[in-house]
């Protein structure tokens, strides 16, 4: 339970960057937020006993994809000129 709460607190980096920096999120910050999301969620998912390395990585990628989508909707991807 403690690992799940920690992972929940540390995920959402792209969305948080979009909220804090508004339209001024630069590309290095965006890349760092994406990498941090993948690492934190994958590490937390690896604590589930039945999860393999692939399942943990897939969970990290799925949660990060949702975070990036939400973050881009609020303006975090403005540096990509999308």
Domain residue ranges of the chain, discontinuous segments joined by +: 2-80
* Identity of the highest mean pLDDT range in 21-25, 40-44, 55-59: 55-59
Q: How confident is the model at residue 61 (pLDDT cuts 50, 70, 90)?
A: very high
Distance in angstroms (rounded) separating the CA atoms of residues 71 and 22: 10
At 33, phi and psi to the nearest 5?
Answer: -65, -40
14 C-beta neighbours (distance < 10 Å), count:
28
Look at residue 1 and tell me whether its pLDDT is greater than 60: no
Picking from 81, 80, 66, the residue whose alpha carbon sits closest to that of residue 15 is 66
Cα 76 to Cα 56: distance, rounded to the nearest angstrom:
26
pLDDT given at position 65 = 92
20: which DSSP letter?
H
């Amino acid at each position: 339970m403690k690992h799940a709460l920690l992972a929940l607190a540390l995920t959402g980096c792209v969305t948080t960057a979009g909220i804090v920096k508004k339209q001024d999120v630069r590309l290095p910050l965006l890349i760092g937020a994406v990498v941090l999301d993948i690492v934190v969620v994958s590490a937390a998912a690896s604590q589930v006993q039945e999860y393999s390395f692939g399942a943990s990585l897939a969970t990290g990628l799925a949660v990060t994809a949702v975070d990036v989508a939400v973050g881009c909707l609020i303006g975090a991807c403005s540096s990509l000129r999308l």
